[in-house]
Amino acid sequence: MKGNQSPHCNELLADIDGRYLTEPRPSGWISTRFPTFTFYSQFLGNVFRSSNVARRGQYDSLRWSQTSFEVLQSLESVGVRFEVSGLQNLANLTTPCVLVGNHMSMLETIVLPAIIQPVCDVTFVVKQSLMDYPVFRHILRSRDPIAVSRDNPREDLKQVMGMGAERLGKGISVVVFPQTTRSETFDPRSFNTIGVKLAARTKVPVLPIALQTDAWGNGKWIKDLGPIRPEKKVRFAFGEPMEIEGRGSQQQQAIVDFIASRLDQWKAEDRGAGGGLAKINGTWNVG
Protein backbone atom coordinates (compact mmCIF):
# COMPACT_ATOMS: atom_id res chain seq x y z
CA MET A 1 0.00 0.00 0.00
CA LYS A 2 1.59 3.25 -1.12
CA GLY A 3 1.06 6.62 0.52
CA ASN A 4 1.57 9.96 -1.16
CA GLN A 5 4.90 9.63 -2.93
CA SER A 6 7.64 12.17 -2.29
CA PRO A 7 10.74 12.22 -4.49
CA HIS A 8 12.79 13.36 -1.52
CA CYS A 9 11.60 10.85 1.04
CA ASN A 10 11.73 7.95 -1.38
CA GLU A 11 15.51 8.27 -1.31
CA LEU A 12 15.30 6.58 2.09
CA LEU A 13 13.89 3.47 0.46
CA ALA A 14 16.33 3.40 -2.44
CA ASP A 15 18.88 1.05 -0.88
CA ILE A 16 18.25 -2.58 -1.75
CA ASP A 17 19.22 -3.73 1.75
CA GLY A 18 16.54 -1.62 3.45
CA ARG A 19 18.98 0.77 5.12
CA TYR A 20 19.60 4.49 5.07
CA LEU A 21 22.87 5.98 6.31
CA THR A 22 23.85 9.64 6.41
CA GLU A 23 26.58 10.24 3.88
CA PRO A 24 29.74 11.87 5.27
CA ARG A 25 29.72 15.59 4.58
CA PRO A 26 31.62 18.61 5.88
CA SER A 27 29.72 20.97 8.19
CA GLY A 28 30.09 24.72 8.12
CA TRP A 29 32.05 26.64 10.73
CA ILE A 30 28.95 28.06 12.42
CA SER A 31 26.95 24.81 12.42
CA THR A 32 29.92 22.89 13.82
CA ARG A 33 30.36 25.29 16.73
CA PHE A 34 26.72 26.20 17.29
CA PRO A 35 24.68 23.17 16.18
CA THR A 36 21.68 23.92 18.40
CA PHE A 37 21.35 27.54 17.26
CA THR A 38 21.91 26.63 13.61
CA PHE A 39 19.38 23.82 13.64
CA TYR A 40 16.61 25.71 15.40
CA SER A 41 17.00 28.72 13.11
CA GLN A 42 16.19 26.35 10.23
CA PHE A 43 13.61 24.28 12.11
CA LEU A 44 11.55 27.21 13.37
CA GLY A 45 11.51 28.72 9.89
CA ASN A 46 10.20 25.40 8.61
CA VAL A 47 7.51 25.33 11.30
CA PHE A 48 6.30 28.88 10.60
CA ARG A 49 6.14 28.29 6.85
CA SER A 50 4.33 24.98 7.33
CA SER A 51 1.91 26.52 9.81
CA ASN A 52 0.94 29.22 7.32
CA VAL A 53 0.32 26.58 4.67
CA ALA A 54 -1.74 24.51 7.14
CA ARG A 55 -3.87 27.51 8.07
CA ARG A 56 -4.77 27.84 4.39
CA GLY A 57 -5.81 24.18 4.34
CA GLN A 58 -3.00 23.23 1.96
CA TYR A 59 -0.71 21.19 4.22
CA ASP A 60 -1.35 17.78 2.69
CA SER A 61 0.42 14.44 3.16
CA LEU A 62 2.97 15.13 0.44
CA ARG A 63 3.97 18.46 1.95
CA TRP A 64 4.12 16.85 5.40
CA SER A 65 6.58 14.19 4.28
CA GLN A 66 8.67 16.76 2.41
CA THR A 67 8.94 19.21 5.30
CA SER A 68 9.68 16.33 7.66
CA PHE A 69 12.52 15.30 5.37
CA GLU A 70 13.78 18.89 5.41
CA VAL A 71 14.08 18.61 9.20
CA LEU A 72 16.11 15.42 8.78
CA GLN A 73 18.37 17.26 6.35
CA SER A 74 18.72 20.19 8.76
CA LEU A 75 19.87 17.81 11.48
CA GLU A 76 22.36 16.22 9.09
CA SER A 77 23.65 19.67 8.13
CA VAL A 78 24.79 20.30 11.71
CA GLY A 79 26.52 16.93 11.99
CA VAL A 80 23.80 14.56 13.22
CA ARG A 81 24.13 11.13 11.59
CA PHE A 82 21.16 8.89 10.81
CA GLU A 83 21.11 5.12 10.58
CA VAL A 84 17.78 3.60 9.55
CA SER A 85 17.30 -0.15 9.11
CA GLY A 86 14.44 -2.50 8.32
CA LEU A 87 12.95 -0.24 5.67
CA GLN A 88 12.00 -3.30 3.64
CA ASN A 89 9.52 -4.17 6.38
CA LEU A 90 7.72 -0.91 5.63
CA ALA A 91 8.00 -1.28 1.88
CA ASN A 92 6.48 -4.77 1.98
CA LEU A 93 3.34 -3.76 3.88
CA THR A 94 0.11 -4.56 2.06
CA THR A 95 -2.30 -3.35 4.76
CA PRO A 96 -2.37 -0.52 7.29
CA CYS A 97 -0.73 -1.42 10.59
CA VAL A 98 -0.05 -0.20 14.11
CA LEU A 99 3.56 0.90 14.56
CA VAL A 100 4.71 0.68 18.18
CA GLY A 101 7.94 2.24 19.43
CA ASN A 102 9.79 3.63 22.40
CA HIS A 103 9.77 7.41 22.84
CA MET A 104 12.98 9.34 23.53
CA SER A 105 12.57 12.84 22.15
CA MET A 106 10.72 15.23 19.89
CA LEU A 107 12.81 13.98 16.97
CA GLU A 108 10.83 10.85 16.14
CA THR A 109 7.52 12.71 16.00
CA ILE A 110 8.99 15.21 13.55
CA VAL A 111 11.16 12.94 11.38
CA LEU A 112 9.22 9.65 11.16
CA PRO A 113 6.72 11.10 8.65
CA ALA A 114 9.61 11.51 6.19
CA ILE A 115 10.22 7.77 6.38
CA ILE A 116 6.73 6.31 6.76
CA GLN A 117 4.36 8.62 4.84
CA PRO A 118 5.88 7.98 1.38
CA VAL A 119 5.18 4.27 1.92
CA CYS A 120 1.81 4.30 3.67
CA ASP A 121 -0.54 6.97 4.93
CA VAL A 122 0.04 7.46 8.64
CA THR A 123 -0.98 9.43 11.69
CA PHE A 124 0.18 9.54 15.32
CA VAL A 125 -1.19 9.20 18.81
CA VAL A 126 -0.08 12.47 20.47
CA LYS A 127 -0.49 14.38 23.71
CA GLN A 128 -3.48 16.70 23.77
CA SER A 129 -1.21 19.56 24.88
CA LEU A 130 0.61 19.46 21.53
CA MET A 131 -2.68 20.23 19.80
CA ASP A 132 -2.74 23.60 21.58
CA TYR A 133 0.85 24.70 20.87
CA PRO A 134 1.00 28.12 19.21
CA VAL A 135 1.88 27.89 15.49
CA PHE A 136 2.61 24.13 15.64
CA ARG A 137 -1.03 23.29 16.37
CA HIS A 138 -2.11 24.18 12.83
CA ILE A 139 0.34 21.64 11.39
CA LEU A 140 -0.61 18.90 13.82
CA ARG A 141 -4.36 19.33 13.47
CA SER A 142 -4.09 19.12 9.69
CA ARG A 143 -2.70 15.57 10.08
CA ASP A 144 -5.77 14.34 11.97
CA PRO A 145 -3.88 12.76 14.90
CA ILE A 146 -5.37 10.89 17.84
CA ALA A 147 -5.02 13.11 20.91
CA VAL A 148 -4.80 11.68 24.45
CA SER A 149 -4.44 13.39 27.82
CA ARG A 150 -1.95 10.95 29.45
CA ASP A 151 -3.84 11.72 32.69
CA ASN A 152 -6.72 9.25 32.42
CA PRO A 153 -5.59 5.85 31.10
CA ARG A 154 -9.16 4.57 30.76
CA GLU A 155 -10.29 7.52 28.65
CA ASP A 156 -7.07 7.42 26.63
CA LEU A 157 -7.65 3.74 25.84
CA LYS A 158 -11.22 4.48 24.75
CA GLN A 159 -10.01 7.33 22.55
CA VAL A 160 -7.28 5.28 20.89
CA MET A 161 -9.54 2.27 20.35
CA GLY A 162 -12.29 4.35 18.77
CA MET A 163 -10.34 6.84 16.71
CA GLY A 164 -7.57 4.36 15.93
CA ALA A 165 -10.08 1.90 14.49
CA GLU A 166 -11.57 4.70 12.40
CA ARG A 167 -8.16 5.70 10.96
CA LEU A 168 -7.14 2.11 10.26
CA GLY A 169 -10.49 1.48 8.59
CA LYS A 170 -9.64 4.29 6.18
CA GLY A 171 -6.29 2.67 5.37
CA ILE A 172 -4.24 4.98 7.61
CA SER A 173 -1.56 3.36 9.77
CA VAL A 174 -1.18 4.56 13.37
CA VAL A 175 2.05 5.25 15.29
CA VAL A 176 1.80 4.65 19.04
CA PHE A 177 4.38 5.42 21.75
CA PRO A 178 3.12 3.40 24.74
CA GLN A 179 5.45 5.00 27.31
CA THR A 180 3.72 7.59 29.45
CA THR A 181 6.46 10.15 28.77
CA ARG A 182 9.65 10.56 26.78
CA SER A 183 12.70 8.98 28.33
CA GLU A 184 16.30 8.29 27.39
CA THR A 185 15.96 5.00 29.26
CA PHE A 186 13.72 2.11 28.29
CA ASP A 187 11.67 0.62 31.10
CA PRO A 188 9.47 -2.28 29.90
CA ARG A 189 7.27 -1.83 32.98
CA SER A 190 6.06 1.55 31.69
CA PHE A 191 5.55 0.25 28.15
CA ASN A 192 1.83 -0.43 28.06
CA THR A 193 -0.13 -2.65 25.67
CA ILE A 194 -2.30 -0.01 24.02
CA GLY A 195 -0.74 -0.53 20.57
CA VAL A 196 -1.18 -4.29 20.67
CA LYS A 197 -4.77 -3.90 21.87
CA LEU A 198 -5.55 -1.59 18.95
CA ALA A 199 -4.01 -4.02 16.47
CA ALA A 200 -5.92 -6.94 18.02
CA ARG A 201 -9.26 -5.14 17.89
CA THR A 202 -8.83 -4.02 14.29
CA LYS A 203 -7.14 -7.24 13.10
CA VAL A 204 -4.15 -5.47 11.54
CA PRO A 205 -0.45 -6.27 12.01
CA VAL A 206 1.71 -4.58 14.61
CA LEU A 207 5.18 -3.41 13.58
CA PRO A 208 7.82 -2.62 16.23
CA ILE A 209 10.14 0.39 15.98
CA ALA A 210 13.28 0.78 18.10
CA LEU A 211 14.40 4.40 18.39
CA GLN A 212 17.58 6.05 19.61
CA THR A 213 16.98 9.77 19.22
CA ASP A 214 18.66 11.47 22.17
CA ALA A 215 20.68 13.59 19.71
CA TRP A 216 17.69 15.93 20.13
CA GLY A 217 17.73 16.47 23.86
CA ASN A 218 14.85 17.45 26.10
CA GLY A 219 14.93 21.11 27.08
CA LYS A 220 15.13 22.57 30.58
CA TRP A 221 12.45 25.20 30.10
CA ILE A 222 10.73 24.04 26.90
CA LYS A 223 10.88 20.25 26.80
CA ASP A 224 10.49 20.03 23.03
CA LEU A 225 13.35 22.43 22.29
CA GLY A 226 16.40 20.86 23.89
CA PRO A 227 20.05 20.83 22.84
CA ILE A 228 21.14 19.24 19.57
CA ARG A 229 24.01 16.82 20.18
CA PRO A 230 25.71 15.79 16.91
CA GLU A 231 28.04 13.41 18.71
CA LYS A 232 25.04 11.10 19.26
CA LYS A 233 23.89 9.02 16.30
CA VAL A 234 20.18 8.78 15.52
CA ARG A 235 18.99 5.23 14.88
CA PHE A 236 15.63 3.84 13.76
CA ALA A 237 15.06 0.09 13.34
CA PHE A 238 11.80 -1.23 11.88
CA GLY A 239 11.00 -4.81 12.82
CA GLU A 240 8.92 -7.34 10.95
CA PRO A 241 5.13 -6.95 11.15
CA MET A 242 3.37 -9.46 13.39
CA GLU A 243 -0.20 -10.72 13.40
CA ILE A 244 -1.83 -10.60 16.84
CA GLU A 245 -2.62 -13.97 18.38
CA GLY A 246 -5.13 -14.20 21.22
CA ARG A 247 -4.66 -11.34 23.67
CA GLY A 248 -1.36 -10.40 22.08
CA SER A 249 0.87 -11.20 25.06
CA GLN A 250 3.50 -12.88 22.91
CA GLN A 251 3.53 -10.00 20.45
CA GLN A 252 3.85 -7.46 23.28
CA GLN A 253 6.85 -9.33 24.65
CA ALA A 254 8.35 -9.59 21.16
CA ILE A 255 8.07 -5.80 20.76
CA VAL A 256 9.74 -5.18 24.12
CA ASP A 257 12.51 -7.67 23.30
CA PHE A 258 13.07 -6.12 19.87
CA ILE A 259 13.44 -2.61 21.29
CA ALA A 260 15.63 -3.69 24.22
CA SER A 261 17.92 -5.78 22.03
CA ARG A 262 18.43 -2.97 19.52
CA LEU A 263 19.18 -0.47 22.26
CA ASP A 264 21.65 -2.93 23.74
CA GLN A 265 23.31 -3.43 20.36
CA TRP A 266 23.56 0.30 19.67
CA LYS A 267 24.98 1.05 23.08
CA ALA A 268 27.62 -1.61 22.53
CA GLU A 269 28.50 -0.09 19.17
CA ASP A 270 28.82 3.36 20.73
CA ARG A 271 30.98 2.20 23.59
CA GLY A 272 33.08 -0.24 21.61
CA ALA A 273 33.86 -3.88 22.28
CA GLY A 274 32.53 -5.06 25.61
CA GLY A 275 29.98 -2.28 25.84
CA GLY A 276 26.28 -2.79 26.38
CA LEU A 277 23.28 -1.66 28.30
CA ALA A 278 23.23 -1.70 32.04
CA LYS A 279 19.94 -3.19 33.18
CA ILE A 280 19.10 -1.78 36.59
CA ASN A 281 15.80 -2.64 38.26
CA GLY A 282 14.31 -3.63 34.93
CA THR A 283 15.39 -0.44 33.15
CA TRP A 284 17.66 -0.44 30.09
CA ASN A 285 19.92 2.62 30.34
CA VAL A 286 20.60 4.13 26.93
CA GLY A 287 21.86 7.45 28.23
Please tell me the predicted confidence (pLDDT) of residue 151: 75
Q: Identify the three-state secondary structure at position 212.
A: strand
In a domain, 282, yes or no: no
**SS3 assignment, position 8:** coil
- Do residues 208 and 100 touch, judged by C-beta distance below 8 A? yes
- Evaluate whether residue 136 is within a structural domain: yes
Residue 255: left if φ>0, alpha if ψ -120 to 50, beta else—which one?
alpha
Total domains in the fold of the chain: 1
Pair type for strands 98-101 and 122-127: unpaired
pLDDT for 5 equals 44
Residue 285 domain-assigned (yes or no): no
Determine the pLDDT at residue 207: 98
Strand order in the sheet with 185-186: 185-186, 283-285, 278-280
What local confidence, expressed as pLDDT, does residue 286 receive? 44
The reply to whether the predicted model has a pTM over 0.75 is: yes
Check which CATH number belongs to the domain holding 34 and give it: 3.40.1130
Would you list the DSSP string of 54-71?
HHTT---HHHHHHHHHHH
pLDDT in tens, the chain (287 residues): 344 444 444 555 555 567 888 888 777 778 888 999 999 999 999 999 999 999 999 999 999 999 999 999 999 999 999 999 999 999 889 999 999 999 989 999 999 999 999 989 999 998 877 788 787 889 989 898 998 887 788 888 899 999 999 999 999 999 999 987 777 888 888 888 999 999 999 999 999 999 999 999 987 888 788 999 999 999 999 999 999 999 999 999 999 999 999 999 999 998 873 433 444 444 434 44
Backbone angles phi, psi at 160, to 5 degrees: -65, -40
- Which structural domain, as residue segments, surrounds residue 86? 9-276
